[in-house]
Amino acid sequence: MHLLLSQSINLFAAMLLIVVFAMISQRRILRVIHLFTVQGATLVASTIVVGYLTGQHHLYYSAAVTLIVKVILIPVLLHRVIDRLNVRWDVETLINIPTTMLIGIVLVVFAFNLALPIAKLSLSIARGTLGIALACFLLSFMMMISRAKAVPQVIGFLSMENSLFFAAAAATNGMPMIVELGIAFDVLAGILILGVFMFQIREQFDSLDIRHLEKLKED
């Protein structure tokens, strides 16, 4: 049983990587939000498993906070935003999808090589997944900078935070609970601020394309 659960951590890590690759290949915002929800649920499951195997009971609370904030609250808020803005199918990439996927593969190879010496220093049972956590972070960052619309960029930012959370669990069996609660509230506050920001962009330019902001700089 213990061995099976230990192996399941690698399975969850692989699922996280697959989900991020799926996110950067999507052109529809609704599907990106669904994938983000799946990413959050996978993160919850992996946190529970790590908590059980290590006896770190605070990870159960972390999993509960992640479930409430990232699997329920944030997806609901994002659905309401896209309903209000009517941008369900409005996703545009600055780089075409095949090129994005090729860059993503290069980033994964780079992340694994970068994380290898760090993972050897860790005593966590999930240290072997540190490379995947770093790869997910880099892919999420690429998603954020390669999208022209504000909503996918927000989801890319949230995916980066998920990757950092998973990296913390992989390297150190999780962060202190007070830190995780602070991050969760910061993420919620950030979502509310970005929501207002997106509504303002839409009101001013009748579009969520952030390239319109260059007009303000020129003015």
User: Tens of pLDDT along 163-187?
Assistant: 888 877 766 665 555 555 555 556 6
Length, in residues, of the chain: 219
Whole-number pLDDT of residue 216: 45
| Residues with pLDDT less than 50, the chain | 213, 216-219
Q: What is the pLDDT of residue 165?
A: 82
What separation in angstroms does the CA of 132 have from each of 25, 29, 107, 110? 18, 24, 11, 11
Name the amino acid, one letter, at 127: R
Count of alpha carbons within 13 angstroms of residue 149, beta-carbon side: 23
**pLDDT given at position 68:** 87
CB atoms within 10 A of CB 70: 25
Q: Per the structure block, which two tokens stand in for 119?
A: 């993972």
Closest among 180, 138, 178 to 159, alpha carbons compared: 138
Global confidence as pTM: 0.78
DSSP readout, 114-172?
Answer: HHHHHHHH---TTGGGHHHHHHHHHHHHHHHHHBSBHHHHHHHHHHHHHHHHHHHHHHH
End-to-end CA distance of the chain: 64
Q: Which residues contact 121 (CB under 8 A, 6 or more apart)?
A: none
